[in-house]
Structure 1
Amino acid sequence: MNFSGKYQLQSQENFEAFMKAVGLPDELIQKGKDIKGVSEVVQTGKHFKLTITTGSKVIYNEFTLGEECEMETMTGEKVKAVVQMEGDNKLVTSFKGIKSITELNGDTVTHVSLL
């Protein structure tokens, strides 16, 4: 399955705990928890370009499956991460003891963060 496309986030699990773990202040967590971000993905083979727009915040990350890369978090912090694909519709990102799972089902993206 190719992830290329533009998606509006439909649901998030563990949003507040995840944002606290990456260092986002409580007032920004409260403001952001009801904003449905838009993700634009361009996939070429194992290489991904990802642009996430949440309100006025835009984050751009680029990675190749299975290779360590530097990614920007919602706080602007740069972290070393590895993104793997599980099955043909899940991207699993691991960094700083956090596991983030993005799942594509048709035209719907869901996001789960595990601490």
Structure 2
Amino acid sequence: MAFNGKYELQSQENFEPFMKAIGIADDMIEKWKGIKSVSEIVQTGDHFKITVTKGNKVIVNEFTIGEEMEVEGPTGEQIKALVIAEGDNKLVAKMQNIASVIEVIGDQLIITMTIGDIDFKRTNKRVV
């Protein structure tokens, strides 16, 4: 249950290039750039519920390891995704043309999303 907890965004790398690569408009990139987010993860066995709060927007995605599901993608549309576990502290997801790796390292939650040759990395610190 390495993932259970609440995490606050500390830093992010390649935010703008990644958002442009997935088709987010410049005005939305500017609006979202400074917003801090809080992610809460509840893991029950192979089932995960991830709630991300960005300002006044709340996104909730639930999934079970190894089962295809629909989640809200970065642009707000519903996309199919498949998540597999690699050990006790790493999840790997494939969603359309985006690869995502979520891992817990100590008290940090590191999320790296890749499209083409752009790696967008978010570093979050456990707060609860």
Same fold (TM over 0.5): yes
C-alpha offsets along residues 17-57 of structure 1, whole Å, 9 cap, x if unaligned?
A: 33234432221112222322100111001100110011111
| Aligned mates of 2:112, 2:11 — CA distance in 1 | 8
How many residue pairs align between the two structures?
A: 115
Contact 2:2/2:104 (CA < 8 Å) preserved in 1? Answer: no
The SS at the match of 1:75 is coil
Contact 1:66/1:83 (CA < 8 Å) preserved in 2? Answer: yes
CA drift at 1:76: 1.9
Instruction: Please list every run of 5 or more consecutive structure 1 residues that lacks an aligned counterpart in the other structure.
Output: none
| Aligned mates of 2:110, 2:30 — CA distance in 1 | 20
Query: Which structure is larger by alpha-carbon Rg, 1 or 2?
Result: 2
CA drift at 1:105: 1.7
Superposition pairs of residues 89-108 of structure 1, within 5 angstroms: 89-108=89-108
Matched with 1:73 is 73
Q: TM-score, normalised by structure 2?
A: 0.79
- Which residue identity is paired with 1:26? D
| Aligned mates of 1:95, 1:106 — CA distance in 2 | 27
RMSD of aligned C-alpha atoms? 1.7
Instruction: Please list every run of 5 or more consecutive structure 2 residues that lacks an aligned counterpart in the other structure.
Output: 116-128
Of residues 63-72 and 83-92 in structure 1, the stretch that sits farther from structure 2 once superposed is: 83-92
| Aligned mates of 1:16, 1:98 — CA distance in 2 | 16
